[in-house]
Structure 1
Amino acid sequence: MQIVIMDYQRRWAEEYAAIEQAIKGVVGPEVQRIDHIGSTSVPGLAAKDIIDIQLSVTAIEPVEVYGKGLESLGYFEKPGNLERNKRYFRESGEMRRTHIHIRESGAFGQQFALLFRDYLRASPEECEYYAAQKRELAKQEWENVSDFGDAKDPLFWEIMRRANAWQQDTAWRSG
């Protein structure tokens, strides 16, 4: 399987904004914030053409509280998520490729995604490095997309260590 990493597309921010507005129309106050996360959320960063969205909720259960609204928009909960304190929804049919990650506000994973995004936004040289490494990995043939993700893990943690130092130096706080 070939992984396609494309140059940053301005339309990603616009597509996110449209999806965010649709989600806001079908969820209630249990969704405390909605964020564009992942590589497409970082201006200038090359990425796979997938919009990643994080919903920060007051409580992960019951899933129906926010799940019914997402389902009404055509998203479905993907079973088999390995992160126990997260719910994961995907697009259905011919919808725009979208991954929706639902995490409790203040949870490690919720903060982690925001820190990684904000660090890359603040560090153009780190952004360039990450893009170059992803492009290099994408040149290989992969059995599946999960293997590509696993291969990125050491790179991700290398950058995350620097993001942690940046967080301490800047007193970063999520939004």
Structure 2
Amino acid sequence: MGSSVIVVQYDPDWVRLFGKLQDFVLPVLSDLVLTIEHVGSTSVPGLAAKPIVDMDVVVSTQADVHTAIQRLATLGYVHEGDLGTSGREAFIPPDNVPWHHLYVCTVETAEYKRHILFRDYLRSHPEDSKMYGFLKLELAQRFHNDRAAYTNAKSEFVNEILKRTGWK
């Protein structure tokens, strides 16, 4: 079953929250990081989303990934492993910051490239973004208590958008 699915209308505070979270992790990662990207639906202006900020911390090498894991632990992040997505390391945030999803990966990681392609496409195609938002709101009602079914039901739309970006 999984936890309930809640999708809400876009909130401009998500951008500010991303900035605060970025500022929180940057002091321990600044010499490693190539970029920290706000990804996922909260990063697309106007898009309905689950109210959880997603951030990709991007580094150069796998050795940098391991260093980042150790340094994030000093802030209270708990490393969860790749959660089934190769090349992307996931973390549980510390109790003293708002809940969010933080991932560390290298710039060559397929999941990172997919995140950026999808985000940038939706940012530059407001009609498709609006359709995606309507779909997510409808699916969140239909699959309120089944996160896996919700995710599976959006995959056709997501894959169609990725195809338009040239993603293989």
Q: Contact between 1:6 and 1:47, CA under 8 Å: does it hold in 2? A: yes
Q: How does 1:82-93 map to 2 (within 5 A)?
A: 82-93=84-95
Match of 2:62, SS? Answer: coil
Deviates more, 1:41-50 or 1:20-29: 20-29
* Paired position in structure 2 for 1:71: 73
CA RMSD of aligned residues (A): 2.0
Letter in 1 for 2:50: K
Q: How does 1:74-153 map to 2 (within 5 A)?
A: 74-79=76-81, 81-93=83-95, 95-153=97-155
Deviates more, 1:26-35 or 1:61-70: 61-70
Once the two structures are TM-superposed, the CA of residue 147 in structure 1 deviates from its matched residue by 3.4
Q: In 2 relative to 1, CA 140–61 (structure 1 residues): closer, same or farther, beyond 3 Å? A: farther
Once the two structures are TM-superposed, the CA of residue 9 in structure 1 deviates from its matched residue by 0.5
* Paired position in structure 1 for 2:19: 17
Over residues 1-32 of structure 1, what are the superposed CA-to-partner deviations in whole Å (9 max), with x where a residue is unaligned? 53111111011000000111111111142221
| Unpaired stretches in structure 2, ≥5 consecutive residues | none
CA distance in 2, matches of 1:62, 1:122: 32
Q: 2:46 aligns with which of 44, 47, 50?
A: 44
TM-score (norm 1): 0.84
How many residue pairs were aligned? 165
Q: In 2 relative to 1, CA 31–62 (structure 1 residues): closer, same or farther, beyond 3 Å? A: closer
Letter in 2 for 1:19: L
Match of 1:84, SS? Answer: coil
| Unpaired stretches in structure 1, ≥5 consecutive residues | 166-175
Q: Contact between 1:2 and 1:140, CA under 8 Å: does it hold in 2? A: no
Once the two structures are TM-superposed, the CA of residue 146 in structure 1 deviates from its matched residue by 3.3
Which aligned runs of 4 or more in structure 1 are off by greater than 4 angstroms? Answer: none
1:32 aligns with 2:34: yes
Over residues 79-100 of structure 1, what are the superposed CA-to-partner deviations in whole Å (9 max), with x where a residue is unaligned? 4611121111122436312111
Q: Contact between 1:5 and 1:49, CA under 8 Å: does it hold in 2? A: yes
* Paired position in structure 2 for 1:169: none
Instruction: Work out the percentage of aligned pairs sharing the same amino acid.
Output: 28
Once the two structures are TM-superposed, the CA of residue 158 in structure 1 deviates from its matched residue by 1.4
1:5 aligns with 2:7: yes
Deviates more, 1:82-91 or 1:54-63: 54-63
CA distance in 1, matches of 2:98, 2:91: 13
CA distance in 1, matches of 2:37, 2:113: 11
